Copies of this chain bind each other. A is one copy, B any other.
Amino acid sequence: MKFVIRAGGIGTRLWPFSRRQKPKQFHALVGDRSMLQTAVDRIGSIAKAEDVYVSTGATLAKGVSQQLPDLTSNRLIVEPALRNTGPAVGLECVLLEAAFPGCVVASLGSDHHIGKPEEFCRLLEVAEAAVDANPDELVLIGVKPWRAETGFGYIQKGEVFHEANGEPVYRVGGFKEKPDAATAESYVSSGDYLWNSNMFVWRAARVLELIEEFEPDLHAGLMEIKAAVGTDAQQSTLERVYPRLKEIAIDNAVLERAEWVAVVEADIDWSDIGSWGALADVLPVDEHGNLVSADAITVDTTGSTVYAPDGKLVALIGVDNLVVVDSGDALLIVPKDEVQRVREIVDKLGDREDGGKYL
């Protein structure tokens, strides 16, 4: 199995730490290693270094190399433009299928936390075994939900249609967009739904077949790139063709349309750390429910998150459920139940003449 860690995301809601040139996955929000480094580390027990690839956008390629000095340049997949996950996954599959015909690929994220990496690796091997048993299968890693989260998509579990390594592999009954609170509650209490982690195990050739079936234009572009692989024209073809590929998510392009879509249920202490509120899910809080990653003095303060790693003293008095993030040049203050709105600040910075230095 080959592994591709997708590291092209922006992490807008983690501003002011997450920036265009240094997005979320380059930061060590949990532990000493960045999220990207951790994403590589956590599969170390099942992946040989030479089987681990990283995909990213052109603006982040240098940053990825700095983060992962042992990553050889042939294992860094650089997308000339951001065209969503359909073209990105297609490019992964083209390059890996060219190098390793018939290979199985695990396509993984770089910007989430997994508290149980050994269990995660075991389930990747379950998924690989499932694909070995049924080469047409697209296997998703579905996370067993531990709260009625409205910020994620959900995967409905269907019947068990086979076992792999003794673990049930479920047919996907359907994909559900981000639900409202009541719907999320019913999903979680039913036990029939899993969070969509956007991690997949499949054969590269099978993905390309399905792209050909459902998105022939996208497939044609990918084949043009494939024809140039290994030639002098590889880079120039990629740069010419890729930016014009259809901008579409792999979910819409393939997963929601294909047969033989399966899911394994993962109880792996997963969090996407998509917002400053989510950090308190994975880092310890004090007896008042505060997550304090700062030199802080708190008086009558509860349920708050203080993230100021650069040594500044932060003093809070009489504050409840507030998020305070200090990046040195910028300070963010937002109630915990409005952390999704950090996007609005980023949007406003985009409108400011000097906003770029904070983006």
Contact = CB atoms under 8 A, between A and B. Distances in A.
Which of A317, A319, A324, A341 has its CB near the most chain B CB atoms (within 10 A)?
A317
Contact of A314 (B299, B331, B335, B342): B331
Copies of this chain: 2
Contact of A317 (B299, B313, B317, B334): B334
Given A348-B297, A348-B299, A333 B315 contact: yes
Given A16-B315, A338-B317, A342-B317, A308 B331 contact: yes
A330 B344 contact: no
A319 B341 CA distance: 12
A331 B331 contact: yes
A334 B334 CA distance: 13
Interface residues of A, number: 30
Contacts of A314: 330-331, 333
A349 interface: yes
Q: Is the interface of A mostly helix, strand, loop or mixed?
A: strand
Scoring A326, A334, A358 by chain B CB atoms within 10 A of each residue's CB, the highest score goes to: A334
B338 A315 contact: no
B299 A316 contact: no
Interface of A: 16, 297, 299, 308, 312-319, 322, 324, 326, 329-335, 338, 341-342, 344-345, 348-349, 358
**4 closest A-B pairs by CB:** A313-B330, A317-B334, A318-B338, A315-B345
Given A317-B338, A319-B333, 10 more contacts: A16-B313, A297-B349, A299-B341, A299-B348, A314-B331, A315-B333, A317-B333, A317-B334, A317-B342, A318-B338
